[in-house]
Structure 1
Amino acid sequence: MDKPLSLDDIARHANFSPFHFHRIFTALEGETPAGFILRVRVEKVARLLQEQKNASITEIAYRCGFNNYTSFNRAFKKYFGVTAQEFRKLEKAVFAKDKQFYNAKGELLDRTGKTIHYEKAGIFAFGNDTIMQDADIQVRWMPPFQVAYIRFVGDFYQIGETYDKLIGWASQQNDLLHLEGSAFFTVYHDDPSVTKMDKLRQSVCITIPDNFKPGSPVSKMVIDGGKYLAGYFKLSDMEFEKAWNTIYRTLIEDGYTFRNANIYEMYKTADNTPLSQPYKVHLCIPVE
């Protein structure tokens, strides 16, 4: 994100001419390559502004690919309706109930058009009925995981079909589902408190051996290792919001700070056959 990303360079990596790459990308994504890059950069700045309070706005903007502070300010206000300084004062929305997001002050996130702000909820919806008691949550050092993945873009409540597709592919790959330590993952690349639901990027993944060469319909990446606040849960489809609320409450109450890496869910295949309820899942938030 901090490197120049010209259309010519990106098209060359994809083995297309710039003209054809621009046309195909725009048709697939519903936005131009330049528009996509700018949006993702601005959204990453917004996320880091609320997660890394000790870093300056200029430093964060530079790390996300903005070399001109004036153009950055203009782009940020265009996307969020407030300046970066004003946005940083807003407390991050981390709690969810019925697909709506709230911050610890009980303010409801309102993300419409190209503006973002918080409203006082009539009755604060986050309470004991939206968390899980006696959860197993602790700081863990997680290893890196090499995975094959299929990207899903959209409402994360609709990710089931992508899992079906990955499981179908993995079942044909020489016992990939039954390798020792095998696990499925959902990796979240965007923050729903800043990115609109229809643009959220998620990767549905399964661990692969070091020398494995995946082909269509999957690609290959590494999930970062490091320090995570990790919670272990047994969940039904309807309990994921409560589980995430519970681990975020622990993060806030114990004073942990976010680390710049992706949040993920991990389902060990030995415990899930195949991903039938209740799901036995580790929820992992990267922390400093």
Structure 2
Amino acid sequence: MNPSPASPAQANPKPNTHIYQAEYARRLNRVLDHIDQHLDASLELERLAEIAHFSRFHFHRVFAAWMGETLGDYARRRRLETAAWRLCCDMQASILDIALAYGFASGEAFARAFKIRFDCTPSQWRATRDERRVAQVSGAYQKRVRQDSNLSQVLSNPDQMNLKNLCEDDDSYQSFRKKLMEVNIVQLPAVHVAYQRYMGPYGAGVTKFWANKVAPWMQAYGLQDQICYGIGHDDPSVTAADKCRYDACITVPENFSPGTQANIKTLPGGAYAVAKFKGPATDINDAWMLLMREYLPASGMQCDDRPCFEQFSANSALDPQTGMFSCLLCVPVKAL
């Protein structure tokens, strides 16, 4: 007796593309994390393919298709961008020490690659640190003033104005600055988290990512009451907007299984400079810039290599009536 023919649904089951895509992202994000943790080392293709559980013969092509750049280009970009950040945050380290710390064989090789990427030398980049920070903060406030008021003759001719003075004379800036001076050095414990990664421009895209992807996942796993962390891995003044990475992290137990949508990692503990933030979510980048510009240079502290993050409660961070967002800005620090 011949078996009955399978129905079309049985013969060609519809693939769950959402699950497959999430699994690809989860595996490849493990590779990105590994690269960031080993920027000073040789990154062997076989080892990275093993971490991702992909065939080593096809991994390079899979990576390039997913990231939009080759594995070599990605690693080179991350080394240079991290070195650029270190040049501005660790003024005590020599340029040669930074070059060697991020996998460059010599100061000359580093300088050549840096010039190609940023169109200036490492020493010029370090020397103009404060000018870039002022321009970034001032630019944000200038844009806000333009949106919220009638354009004056001065604002209609931005080349004739002093952006630094506009920023520092603005009442909201001064209020912001005063709040951010209330910074405490706190010893934070290491935290076990599950995370999902967003890649793209910071701002509205991150807000939508939490609302549309992370929040439903938290609901499904009963994590609504857990403490959350937001980690922007890249400096948008250095990294192209579409390459910026952001991790939405939720505290979970050690034995937690996140399924296919998330990865697990540990946020390192230690000393952090912690400041309270309360305001529109669109002001968060300004707050980070002011914290780096105003507090750190006068504190006798400097950033170390651990990630900065925002810490907040999913239940109480956003006031639905006012739209105000509350969180702690946490900067990993060490002595100068």
Mapping of 1:41-56 within 5 angstroms?
Answer: 41-56=79-94
Residue 75 of structure 1, CA deviation: 1.3
Residue 251 of structure 1, CA deviation: 2.4
Contact kept? 1:3, 1:65, Cα under 8 Å: yes
1:145 aligns with 2:194: no
Q: Provide the residue aligned with 2:249 in structure 1.
A: 205
Residue 122 of structure 1, CA deviation: 4.2
Change (3 A) 1:275 1:58: farther
Q: Provide the residue aligned with 1:123 in structure 2.
A: 163
CA deviations 1:182-239 (Å, max 9, x no partner) are 2111112122232222211111111111111222111111112111111112222343
Q: Provide the residue aligned with 2:126 in structure 1.
A: 88
Amino acid at match of 1:166: V
**Structure with greater strand percent:** 1
Structure 2, unmatched stretches of 5+, are 1-38, 143-158
CA deviations 1:30-51 (Å, max 9, x no partner) are 1001100000001111111111
Residue 262 of structure 1, CA deviation: 1.1
Residue 241 of structure 1, CA deviation: 4.0
Helix, strand or coil at the partner of 2:302: coil
TM-score w.r.t. length of structure 2: 0.72
Residue 152 of structure 1, CA deviation: 1.3
What is the count of residue pairs matched by the alignment?
268
Of all paired residues, the percent bearing the same amino acid is 29
Structure 1, unmatched stretches of 5+, are 103-118
1:239 aligns with 2:283: yes
CA deviations 1:46-68 (Å, max 9, x no partner) are 11111111112222122212234
Over the aligned positions, Cα root-mean-square deviation in angstroms equals 2.7
Q: Provide the residue aligned with 1:111 in structure 2.
A: none
Mapping of 1:1-288 within 5 angstroms?
Answer: 1-92=39-130, 93-94=132-133, 96-97=136-137, 100=140, 122-124=162-164, 125-127=166-168, 128=170, 129-131=172-174, 132=176, 134-135=178-179, 136-157=182-203, 158-164=205-211, 165-173=213-221, 175-178=222-225, 182-248=226-292, 249-272=294-317, 277-288=323-334
Contact kept? 2:140, 2:286, Cα under 8 Å: no
Change (3 A) 1:64 1:217: same
CA deviations 1:229-261 (Å, max 9, x no partner) are 111122223432443344332223434322222
Contact kept? 2:229, 2:312, Cα under 8 Å: yes
**Alpha-carbon separation, structure 2, partners of 1:217 and 1:275:** 28
Change (3 A) 1:66 1:208: same
Amino acid at match of 2:198: F
TM-score w.r.t. length of structure 1: 0.83
